[in-house]
Structure 1
Amino acid sequence: MTQWAIGDLQGCHVEFERLLQRLEFTPGRDVMWLAGDLVNRGPGSLECLRHAKALGDSARIVLGNHDLHLLAVAHGFGRLKRSDTLQPILDAPDRDELLDWLRRQPLMVEETIDARRTVMTHAGVLPGWTLNQAAALAREAEAALAGDAYREFLGEMYGDTPDLWREDLSGIARLRCIVNVFTRMRFVDREGRMDFAAKEGLDSAPEGYRPWFQFPRPEGAWDDSPRLLFGHWAALEGETPAARQDVAALDTGCVWGGGLTALDLETGQRVFEPAVTSRD
């Protein structure tokens, strides 16, 4: 069995199929970790969603911000943007089945691989959180999305505030902050305050801010040398300069003309499948 991790598909289904063929990926034998943003901007969003769902127990999947955007729009909250490629999903005969499956996917997954704790989220983990704390907070938001009142959350999901985590946050504000950490975070300041405007490379950091993965973590927060996988940040091109070796960026910007990269979670080997064409 081989366990592979791939960053944001974003509707790049042709490249996804080609990469799986190169890897000789076999469902039922191998496992694929998908770091969220299965859909949007690429031409094969519906196909990516169906393919990911069909993988069943052979996949470990987390939600990304584009996946949540799809859920919000599908349930009457938010609007499609000019660059969105979500209409085929909204028009599909299996739309309800796909959307119901999607909203029940987690924000954080973890597993022990070769005696090493491996964790994946779409955007990362706030530097001030322990991994156990992150897992508990992820479950809070997952329960809201999977529960009967999920429409209430989707209706209030959009927003940049609160941009600073506090344990005494409650209600929708608490859930929004948790989801923004897991699906939208890039730069934070020393207090852990998130900036959502800067989206390019490391040199686009606002004054006083750095990438979340460059800040020290609380003592005991990352015991036993775990590894954290994340996507979301195509401008990094799969690299985390000056980061600790326990962080792996997976998004190599297929939808922007880069490609898809698969990381072997046991050997560290990376396999790259170039984009068919730039879509920017």
Structure 2
Amino acid sequence: MATYLVGDIQGCYNELAALLSHVNFNSKHDTLYLAGDLVARGPNSLETLRFVKSLGNSAKVVLGNHDLHLLAVHAGIKKAKKSDRLSALLTAPDINELMDWLAAQPLLQKIIDNPTDPTHTNIAKENYAYMSHAGISPQWQLADAIAQAKIIQTKLASNERKTWLALMYGEQPNSWHNAHTEVEKFRYSINAFTRMRFCFSDGSLEFTHKGSPKSLISTDNVMPWYELSATINNTAWVFGHWAALMGNTSHHNIYPLDTGCVWGNQLTMLRWHDKKYFKQAALTID
């Protein structure tokens, strides 16, 4: 019984399969948490979605920005770009079933791993964490993130999915304190959960910078979100989305897992109970 956490797959199904084979992953006993962006830009988005869905309760997914974009494309709100490489998926006979499954996935997962206590009645602090695609807004307490994730999941799984998907686009408000309406809170929360990297000193979201913190210059006046979040001082956080970090940060209580497999680098997986990393180099670059 083991818990594994994997970074952004983005259609790199062969690399995922190689990692799982390496650790002898067994869906009857093991659990796989996926940090979002299951699809897009890699060669096998259809195979990836079908496989993760087939794992049933053994797969714990959080939605990423590319997953939400796919839902919007399927709903007719946006057009797929050639670089998204989604044509095989969008024309698959089971596309509607796959999209209904994807839309029902949350934006936040609590990770619990205690192999000696499967009932989780004696969970040590070091044995649990939270996962979201981009992180947790510095302007949120943990309770805020949990509440907003539940609200978004309910909306996207409802008959009003298309309406809400159309409302998620835009970068304002970029501060939780300025999110007053239901729509504003929805859009801000989507951005915080799936697009955030850097923030201004007041914790508001900044969308321009996408490189590593080392790429900043003195006049940028922004910081990585995790340098501003009080929540992660007491709660471990696992995230993807930020390939430029290549798994490296200055904060001891976070686990960035996106290491840019789709860009020719590697897919990274973490076994939670002993914090052992497994890496698979990109197998095909095309």
TM-score, length basis structure 2: 0.91
**Which of the residues 207, 228, 232 maps onto 2:241?**
232
Letter in structure 2 aligned against 1:2: A
Letter in structure 2 aligned against 1:65: N
Map Cα deviations across residues 228-258 of structure 1 (whole Å, 9 max, x no partner). Answer: 1000001111111x22x11100001100011
| Cα distance, 1:222–1:228 mapped onto 2, change above 3 Å | closer
Aligned-pair CA distance for 1:174: 1.5
Aligned-pair CA distance for 1:171: 2.4
Distance in 2 (CA, whole Å) between partners of 1:208 and 1:140 is: 32
Distance in 2 (CA, whole Å) between partners of 1:234 and 1:88 is: 25
Aligned partner of 1:214 in structure 2 is: 227
Aligned-pair CA distance for 1:149: 1.2
Aligned-pair CA distance for 1:215: 1.5
| Alignment RMSD (CA, Å) | 1.5
SS of alignment partner, residue 166 of structure 1 = helix
Contact map agreement 1:258 1:278 (CA 8 A) in 2:
no
Letter in structure 1 aligned against 2:213: L
Distance in 1 (CA, whole Å) between partners of 2:206 and 2:272 is: 30
**Which of the residues 276, 280, 283 maps onto 1:276?**
283
Aligned residue-pair number: 273
Q: Does 2:195 match 1:188?
A: no
Distance in 1 (CA, whole Å) between partners of 2:229 and 2:84 is: 36
Aligned partner of 2:9 in structure 1 is: 9
Mark the runs of 5 or more structure 2 residues left unpaired by the alignment: 115-123
Aligned-pair CA distance for 1:150: 1.2
| Cα distance, 1:157–1:216 mapped onto 2, change above 3 Å | closer
Letter in structure 1 aligned against 2:32: M
Q: Does 2:114 match 1:105?
A: no
Which moves more between the two structures, 102-111 or 142-151? 142-151
Q: Does 2:32 match 1:32?
A: yes
Map Cα deviations across residues 113-141 of structure 1 (whole Å, 9 max, x no partner). Answer: 34233100000001231112211111111
SS of alignment partner, residue 229 of structure 1 = strand
Aligned-pair CA distance for 1:169: 1.9
Aligned-pair CA distance for 1:79: 1.4
Aligned partner of 2:64 in structure 1 is: 64
Aligned-pair CA distance for 1:167: 6.7
Aligned partner of 2:168 in structure 1 is: 157
Which moves more between the two structures, 187-196 or 58-67? 187-196
- Once the two structures are aligned, what percentage of the paired residues are identical? 42
Moved over 4 A (4+): none
Aligned partner of 1:74 in structure 2 is: 74
Contact map agreement 1:19 1:273 (CA 8 A) in 2:
yes
